[in-house]
């Protein structure tokens, strides 16, 4: 099976790669283990210098790197450049704060000197998705490398050029050889890598089935895992909110990355007293979006990443409509080359329809009406997922209820859910476990060692 870059805007195959052979995989694992024995002894100062050098490369080459992303997975070119810059920011954050976040923590026990030490654990396998092909990797790599671990990247098979570019950036930044390696392998070879005793932990961002499979295997081998899986994030709007702003941000929150992000607002739950007004604004905003070539600076919605994703989304919408959902806008593929789907708004979706319970990966918004805050919270929690949630209200009592009662790893009030190097990122329920980013992220793949000196 070849690993190929295919332009989702045109269907053109850009480059193809042979997956690594068994002998090549063995060689990469051997080199990773050897590199760790040297790298673990480097200082925080050295690691910070290399991370800052990586940030310099990302910032100076963001135009070229952004173009690779857009050609491989269809991200709008402006968003692609912004993603590269965000990766540089993560590198600089951990370069500046990593030593402090991993410093020994004294604990008063009344017996001698007691403290907690955070120490690296070894090679970590990262199984990463295509939708943010640079950011997803760097939000793992920056803290992992700063902690003294080494990285093995199994990237999504449709973004091999992004994967190789990231390995090249780490190399050119001055990190020691083999501290970060890309493994061009298929999904069937992941089990072999996880099973290797030299690999100490696994992090995965992706689908529920992939997460369950990885966690199951790693669990049998007693290996640490971090899972960031799907989301069906609610976007709740109450009467005290700035409705025009909520609708404008709602359109952006639903269609960022062409709607292909786990933290996109997918379910719009609106108080009945303002539902008609908000519906008009949301539909108008979605209808006004410019759909087109992602290399065009004016495009707001580009193609979906693969034909399979397009087909899956189309089936979810069609089945939901057959079961009684109303189409307020769109609801179909666009008749043009490439994997394009029309910006879509659905209403009256039955609770057994796909658009109600499943994650929709594309520019499809679903509207719900809530008669009171209790119903809004019930609808928000009526999902197997629990990644992020956005609630719009200027009533402090309502804000407190949403913060306390929404079952999610992240709750944003009067703003869209975003990832930030300073804040932990992760979910509850079937959205996964563990955290990336912030202090919690850098401490996921370390040995939390208790020390007492009598």
Q: Is 299 left (phi over 0), alpha (psi -120 to 50) or beta?
A: beta
Residue among 87, 91, 162, 262 flagged as catalytic = 262
Instruction: State both tokens at 261.
Output: 């992000």
CA dist 343 and 258 (Å) reads 9
Residue among 83, 228, 358, 444 flagged as catalytic = 228
Instruction: State both tokens at 37.
Output: 């024995």
Residue 404's contacts (CB-CB under 8 Å, 6 or more residues apart) are none
Residue 378's contacts (CB-CB under 8 Å, 6 or more residues apart) are none
For residue 199, the surrounding DSSP H or E stretch is none
- For residue 359, the Cα-to-chain-centroid distance in whole angstroms is 14
CA dist 177 and 164 (Å) reads 15
Q: How many CB atoms lie within 10 A of CB 193?
A: 20
Residue 228 annotated to the active site: yes
Sign of dihedral through CA atoms 66, 441, 408, 157? positive
CA dist 81 and 255 (Å) reads 17
Q: Tokens 């069609």 sit at which residue?
A: 318
Which residues on neighbouring strands pair with residue 202, listed in sequence order? 125, 225
Residue closest to 158 by CA, chosen among 310, 21, 300, 13 = 13
Residue 162 annotated to the active site: no
- Cβ–Cβ < 8 Å for 284, 252: no
CA dist 248 and 215 (Å) reads 38
Instruction: State both tokens at 315.
Output: 């089936």
Residue closest to 173 by CA, chosen among 38, 44, 36, 56 = 56
CA dist 360 and 260 (Å) reads 8
446-453 and 113-120 strand pairing? antiparallel
Active site residues: 228, 262
């Amino acid at each position: 099976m070849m690993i190929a870059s295919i332009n989702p805007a045109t269907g053109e195959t850009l480059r193809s790669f042979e997956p690594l052979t068994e002998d090549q995989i063995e060689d990469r694992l051997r080199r990773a283990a050897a590199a760790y024995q040297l790298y673990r002894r480097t200082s925080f100062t050295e690691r910070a210098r290399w991370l800052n050098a990586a940030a310099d490369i990302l910032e100076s080459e963001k135009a070229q790197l952004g173009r690779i992303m857009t050609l491989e997975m269809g991200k709008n070119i402006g968003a692609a450049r912004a993603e590269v810059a965000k990766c540089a920011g993560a590198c600089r954050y951990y370069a500046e704060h990593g030593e402090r976040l991993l410093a020994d923590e004294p604990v008063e026990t009344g017996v001698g000197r007691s403290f907690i030490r955070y120490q690296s654990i070894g090679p970590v396998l990262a199984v990463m998705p295509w939708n943010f092909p640079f950011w997803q990797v760097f939000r793992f790599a920056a803290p992992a490398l700063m902690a003294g671990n080494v990285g093995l990247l199994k990237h999504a098979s449709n973004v091999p050029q992004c994967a190789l570019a990231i390995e090249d950036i780490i190399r050119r930044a001055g990190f020691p050889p083999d501290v970060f390696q890309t493994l061009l392998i298929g999904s069937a070879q992941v089990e072999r890598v996880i099973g290797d005793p030299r690999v100490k932990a696994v992090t995965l961002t992706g689908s529920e089935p992939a997460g369950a499979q990885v966690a199951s295997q790693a669990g049998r081998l007693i290996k640490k895992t971090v899972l960031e899986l799907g989301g069906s994030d609610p976007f709740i709007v109450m009467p005290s909110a700035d409705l025009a702003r909520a609708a404008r941000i709602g359109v952006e929150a639903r269609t960022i990355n062409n709607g292909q992000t786990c933290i996109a607002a997918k379910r719009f739950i609106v108080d009945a007293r303002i539902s008609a007004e908000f519906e008009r604004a949301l539909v108008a905003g979605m209808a006004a979006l410019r759909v087109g070539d992602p290399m065009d600076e004016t495009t707001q919605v580009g193609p979906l990443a693969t034909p399979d994703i397009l087909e899956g989304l189309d089936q979810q919408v069609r089945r939901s409509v057959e079961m009684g959902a109303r189409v307020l806008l769109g609801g179909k593929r666009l008749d043009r080359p490439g994997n394009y789907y029309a910006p879509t708004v659905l209403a009256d979706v039955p609770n057994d329809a796909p658009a109600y319970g499943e994650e929709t990966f594309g520019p499809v918004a679903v509207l719900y009406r809530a008669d009171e805050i209790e119903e809004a919270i019930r609808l928000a929690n009526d999902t197997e997922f629990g990644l992020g949630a956005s609630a719009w209200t200027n009533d402090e009592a309502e804000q407190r209820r949403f913060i306390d009662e929404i079952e999610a790893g992240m709750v944003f009030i009067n703003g869209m859910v975003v990832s930030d190097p300073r804040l932990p990122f992760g979910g509850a329920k079937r959205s996964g476990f563990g955290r990336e980013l912030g202090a919690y992220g850098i401490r996921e793949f370390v040995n939390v060692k208790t020390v007492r000196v009598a």
